[in-house]
Amino acid sequence: MTRIYNSILALALFLTGGVYMMPAQTQPAVPQTLPVPGVAAPAPVPQPPRPAPAFYRNLVVLDPAHGGRDNGAQLSSNAVEKDLTLAFAQKLRPALVAQGFTVVVTRDSDPSDELTTDERAGIANHVRPLVCIVIHATAAGNGVHVVSSSLAEVDSKPSSRALLWNRAQEPMVAMSLKLANEVGLTLETNHLPVMLFRASVPPIDSLICPTIAIELAPLKGNSGKPMLPSDSSYQQRVITAIADGIASFRTHNAPPPTSVPGAKPGVTP
Ligand SMILES: [Zn+2]
């Protein structure tokens, strides 16, 4: 019966879009008692409501930085960063959908009033994604900069300490570093120069999911002019690598729902 229930549960989770319920603390087995003839069976013990999933394993939040009156960096004479980050997110989205992800964006237009850091964090934290990707671009440097929070790694349980809004990323830093490594690896596999570093790029430190910022810099080859971040073939190579890296992170850190019963140790972010 339990096995059938688990199968139905797994099927239901699959049909509802692969919502991954984080394995709760392993519950001790309930002692079974055989019914005694003539004695009424004990009333069933009410079960507590199922906890909300800790995160959705097929959900990604993209945060195109800047917008509105905040142009970001001047990338060339006719290109500003806020437009590039938006266009890049719009191209990254279908690549992630092709990997089976649902994508939520913090903005899908150029708003008249720019989003505040808290508004961006609020959107991302509300939907509980597998990962959040903050998108920037720069006219300096070479290749792709992959940035994770500079906050110290904290091994904290939710109940053991208050979560400070501007340090909400702390318990997730280790997972964010894993995400940075996965994406860095797929970028390198696609022969793109990568620089991994840590910095408090807003709104990373206020996010409660594994998060990296991707900063697209010009691509300098051995000869000729560097490719600008606006170059579509360059962008496409980066997009393919990022989507592969996020999918790889999902495989290694968020097992599919069917494998949650008897979950492997170490999969909890
Ligand atoms: Zn920027």
| Domain assignment of residue 225, yes or no | yes
On the question of a cis peptide bond just before residue 257, with omega within 30 degrees of 0, the verdict is no
Measure 190 CA to ligand 1 centroid, in angstroms.
Answer: 24
Measure 73 CA to ligand 1 centroid, in angstroms.
Answer: 6
- Residue 119 sits in a domain of what CATH number? 3.40.630.40
Measure 66 CA to ligand 1 centroid, in angstroms.
Answer: 6
Q: Which residue has the higher pLDDT, 10 or 214?
A: 214
Kindly report each contact of residues 116-122 with a partner whose C-beta sits within 8 Å and lies 24 or more positions away, as own/partner.
Answer: 117/202, 117/203, 117/206, 118/165, 118/203, 118/206, 120/63, 120/202, 120/203, 121/165, 121/168, 121/203, 121/206, 121/207
| Domain assignment of residue 239, yes or no | yes
Express each pLDDT in 93-151 by its tens digit: 999 999 999 999 999 999 888 899 999 999 999 999 999 999 999 999 999 999 999 99
Reference 68, options 116, 128, 3, 137; nearest CA is 116
Domain that holds residue 185: 56-154+163-253
| Domain assignment of residue 91, yes or no | yes
| Domain assignment of residue 134, yes or no | yes
Measure 25 CA to ligand 1 centroid, in angstroms.
Answer: 40
Q: Which pLDDT value is given to residue 160? A: 52
Q: What residues have their beta carbon closer than 5 A to ion ligand 1?
A: 65, 72, 136
Measure 239 CA to ligand 1 centroid, in angstroms.
Answer: 18
Number of domains in the chain: 1
| Domain assignment of residue 72, yes or no | yes
Measure 182 CA to ligand 1 centroid, in angstroms.
Answer: 22
Q: Which pLDDT value is given to residue 201? A: 92
Measure 65 CA to ligand 1 centroid, in angstroms.
Answer: 6
Reference 55, options 149, 141, 158, 164; nearest CA is 158
Phi, psi of 36 (to 5 degrees): -100, 130
Express each pLDDT in 55-93 by its tens digit: 899 999 999 999 999 999 999 888 999 999 999 999 999
Report residue 170 as tokens: 């702390």
Measure 111 CA to ligand 1 centroid, in angstroms.
Answer: 16
Q: Which residue has the higher pLDDT, 26 or 109?
A: 109
Measure 229 CA to ligand 1 centroid, in angstroms.
Answer: 12
Helix (H, G, I), strand (E, B) or coil at 134: strand
| Domain assignment of residue 23, yes or no | no
Q: Which pLDDT value is given to residue 224? A: 79
Question: Identity (one letter) of the amino acid at 253?
Answer: N
| Domain assignment of residue 222, yes or no | yes
Express each pLDDT in 164-222 by its tens digit: 788 999 999 999 999 999 999 999 999 999 999 999 999 999 999 999 999 999 999 87
Measure 101 CA to ligand 1 centroid, in angstroms.
Answer: 25
Measure 13 CA to ligand 1 centroid, in angstroms.
Answer: 38
| Domain assignment of residue 175, yes or no | yes
Measure 172 CA to ligand 1 centroid, in angstroms.
Answer: 23
Measure 199 CA to ligand 1 centroid, in angstroms.
Answer: 13
| 27 pLDDT above the threshold of 80 | no
Averaged over 31-58, what is the pLDDT?
A: 69
Reference 269, options 128, 142, 148, 145; nearest CA is 128
Measure 168 CA to ligand 1 centroid, in angstroms.
Answer: 21
Q: Global pTM? A: 0.77
> CA of 117: how far to CAs of 76, 121, 255, in Å?
26, 6, 31
Distance of CA 225 to the CA centre of its chain: 34
